[in-house]
A = this chain, B = another copy of it.
Amino acid sequence: MSTKDKAASAKTASIKLAGLSTKTKNEVLSKISEVINKKADEIIAVNEKDIAWSQKNNLPEPLIKRLKFDKKKIKDVTENINSLISLPDPVGKTLSATELDKNLELYKVSCPIGLIGIIFESRPDALVQISSLCLKSGNAVILKGGSEAQNTNKILFEIFKEVSESNGLPEGWIQLIETRSDVNELLRLEKYIDLLIPRGSNEFVKYIMNNTNIPVLGHADGICHVYIDKDADKDMAINIAFDSKTQYVSVCNAAETILIHKDVAQKILPVLKSKLDEKNVEIYGCNKTCTIINANQATENSWSTEYLDYKCSIKIVESEEEAIEHINKYGSHHTDAIISNNEETAKRFMEYVDSANVFWNCSTRFSDGYRYGLGAEVGISTNKIHARGPVGLEGLVIYKWKLIGNGHIVADYVSGNKKFIHKKIY
């Protein structure tokens, strides 16, 4: 089947998916979780083949690490499916209701988006996670994983497909495509695909965003900031900056730049540096920073660099205003934190920093669907429409307007025979 035919088939199935009961969806999820557990040995053996191939082809070590799908991963993904089952169904919720006139009632009701395209690199657990989220939210899905994980992806996909389609889900609701040329075809299928979610490196996500007319949910860069205000508690500031930078460096919500108010730079910088030295963090500092501590000279480029490594840019700012401007100019509108004991300053920061996540006195690393309590995460979005920040099930639904009348026609309202009452009923 061509990619286009797969997408058309999934689109047709998506119509039926929209009408599935919560019970059916949860039962299917539960069976999928069971079968994954039952076939654990088989899945692991297949995954070992993928790993062996990747090692033979000298793929980078971190990629091979992410590719690994062992007993622990299987436990994680099946636990995640089980916790997804316990979440409320996002579909069919009445969001508002208005009586437009006697016996003419308008309901705004949540419904699935339709067909979601997921393109991901490496991690086969992403396949399980996102397919489960799509199933629970009633969306059809077309998946493209990394070629290094193709055997693992295939067996997981087949479990999803077989278990779901033999238990009441419409045929073709889940599709797998495998080659790079399929991806380029996928990006042109705006007629069928309603939303694309890419998960992978910056370059990968940027490529997707720049080469399709389909709406894309996600983020490319994660250039996050910690701003240490003049009214910051010194120990708290150092602790949070250290956690934001070093707790896990290769993720999008790790801090890349630390901004420090000039009034506290002398006091804080030397202590901060010795703390960062514990993890051998390489510092790129502005001119003033370099006069206070020993650091590499930052360039204009440093402020928009996502290191994803034990490296860090540091800049001394004249004011909170300069910090906000710097963040809005160089940041990626992902996650930015202020450390301050001044409530007014902090509130201003959270108001005027134009990012999906704005934090006060806590680490940027909290920016995550699990930590937010969303239960499950599709990804983190830096979009300015639809869904922003960590996106859970609610990012996979939209709504439709249902209007129920009793023969009502517009001519009566235009002529003045009848008048709207517009009474909120929900």
Report A's interface with B, CB cutoff 8 A: 14-16, 18-19, 98, 100, 104, 106, 113-114, 194-195, 209-210, 213, 215, 217, 233, 235-236, 239-240, 242-243, 247-248, 324, 328, 346, 348, 350-352, 354-363, 365-367, 371-373, 383-386, 388-390, 398-411, 413-414, 420, 422
Contacts and interface: CB of A to CB of B under 8 A. Distances in A.
Contacts of A390: 401
Contacts of A361: 404-408
Secondary structure of the A side of the interface?
Answer: mixed
A361 B405 CA distance: 5
25 contacts: A15-B324, A19-B352, A104-B362, A114-B384, A194-B384, A195-B385, A235-B407, A240-B407, A247-B411, A357-B403, A358-B400, A359-B405, A360-B405, A361-B406, A362-B404, A362-B406, A362-B408, A363-B409, A363-B410, A366-B408, A366-B410, A371-B413, A373-B422, A386-B386, A388-B399
Contacts of A411: 243, 247
A114 B243 contact: no
B401 A19 contact: no
A116 to B, nearest CB: 10
A113 B242 CA distance: 32
A400 B406 CA distance: 41
Nearest to A233: B407
Contact of A247 (B194, B352, B410): B410
Contacts of A359: 402-405
Given A104-B366, A385-B386, 8 more contacts: A18-B351, A19-B352, A104-B362, A114-B354, A239-B407, A359-B404, A362-B405, A363-B410
A273 to B, nearest CB: 18
Nearest to A354: B15
B402 A358 contact: yes
Interface core residue of A113, A247, A324, A384 (most chain B CB under 10 Å): A384
A172 to B, nearest CB: 15
Number of copies: 2
Contact of A100 (B373, B408, B410): B373
A362 B401 contact: no
B15 A372 contact: no
Contacts of A100: 366, 371-373
Nearest to A210: B213
A234 to B, nearest CB: 11
Contacts of A405: 359-363, 366
A355 B399 CA distance: 10
A173 to B, nearest CB: 14
Nearest to A385: B386
Q: Ordered nearest first, which 6 A-B pairs have the shortest CB separation?
A: A362-B405, A373-B422, A243-B409, A365-B410, A194-B384, A386-B386
B240 A373 contact: no
A146 to B, nearest CB: 25
B213 A209 contact: yes
A18 B399 CA distance: 26
